Structure 1
Amino acid sequence: MSAEHASARIIAGYARGDTDLAADEVWAVEAHLEACRVCRDRLAAAVATGVPAVASLVDSVWSGLAPELAVTAPVPRRRHRPAWLSGWMTPAMVPWLAMVVGVTLLALLLDRAGSGSGFGLGSGSDGVSLVLLFAPVLPVLGVAASWSRGLDPAYELTASAPRAGLPLVLRRTASVLGVVVPALLVGGWATGVMVAQWLLPCLAFTAATLALGGVVGVTRAAVALAAVWAAVIVAPTLAAGGRTAAALRAGGLPVWGLLLALGIGVVIARRGAYAALGAHR
């Protein structure tokens, strides 16, 4: 492909469905066709001249659909959704993100209400803040919703689109963090928790979800990690009367930083795995 348009060879080969086109050439021309009307017109002309059977099939299908479409009642116009927003989140994410923010606010309220009883860092005791306790798994819930096969009715189209893959995964993950992190920032400030103390576990768990998601699917990875965190950290901490677990103390920050770097490295190394339908399980 040139800097502006696809070459005649690639356009003709794509129109014929040639198998000798490299996978990256197919991906590149499909991504280019989304934004280039000139190349779409060239492709239509190539199909009409080079693959007349396909052009004839399209014409026959359209001739059968045109009379039915003419008598079909028009669909009421829906409020326009910005095109850029579709690349960052799905409608299914909105209630889940609202729930995550609600859980954060509820944890903050419980922290403030329990400050007089010694449960919570804001009281100055050895108790653990609920905001700190739930911070690592809150973004995981939003990431799981953004890639849930059951919640996104267009997941097949999403996974097969030419721009799918790691860039789309990162955009949707960034949209989740863009909502969750400010809420946690407010909660951490109100309870006196150091920013790094909740931010590093939050980012490390998110990176681990994406890294494991390249193997078993993002949704399954999110559910598994959330369950492990609940069983290993949340339940024992609550059972111990709210004493801060070792994993949540400031001394554990280097370990969380190492886990974050490891998760990012795995995601980059396996970036091709996110273009498969399995990443949406």
Structure 2
Amino acid sequence: MTTTRVPVVFIHGLWLHATSWQAWADRFAEHGYDPVLPGWPNEPATVAEARANPEAVAGIGIDDVTAHYTAIIDQLPSAPVLVGHSFGGLFVQKLLGLGLGRAGVAIDPAQIKGVKALPLAQLRSGSPVLGNPANRKRSVALTRSQFRYGFGNAVSEAESDELFEKWAIPSPGRPLFEAAFANFSRNSPAAVNTANADRGPLLIISGGQDHTVPDVVTRGTFKQYAASSAVTELQQFPDRGHSLALDNGWGEIADASLTWLSGKAGVTAA
């Protein structure tokens, strides 16, 4: 008798390549899942190619990425688990809100429409893009020091630099503008159907030292689901920054996600 393995789609955020999920893919495969690691639309296959061709992703917005992952999910043999980090966490929420996926994990998810907190750390983290309106149509790369502030502030400088060298790529500026001004747009692409009571269970994970998506923002996202009867839970990791999904402590976050999926979400992988 052949058992169908549950697909799990990993969705990265800005400034990281899809291959940064490889360790997670291996861990989930060990637990019976069938991992899928697609990049964003037009994203080159390797970090080196992405750095050499930054304009390949210029101008891509939230709706483009949502449609891209919707098409990928539609081709899978069964409804997948969705795991996303940063903007990937926003896409997990959008896709679940659309009725796609059996369950989702949103790690330090980018700000959705309705969340009003705007801490200074978040403003500084987004300033390399938001500081120039022309970046809406461009691809933007972080410097080593900007990556250190936005991602690697809770790990050593040496580890932050190592993560930067290994995974950092240029990314489109448009999604950050769309999220930053979501509350001023009636039809913002950063809006999520948080009222969908029929969606799959959702776990939101917060890093307490995160500069890019501070804990107060993640808690604000969690509160957007207060009126929904669908399962929504929040787990906080007080000493972790925005690099929590790829730094030396990634396994703690991956294992917490696996435990929640098998317990609260009731997902049996194989």
**TM-score bracket, shorter-length normalisation:** under 0.3
Q: Which structure features the higher share of helix residues?
A: 1
Question: Larger radius of gyration, structure 1 or 2?
Answer: 1
Q: Which structure features the higher share of strand residues?
A: 2
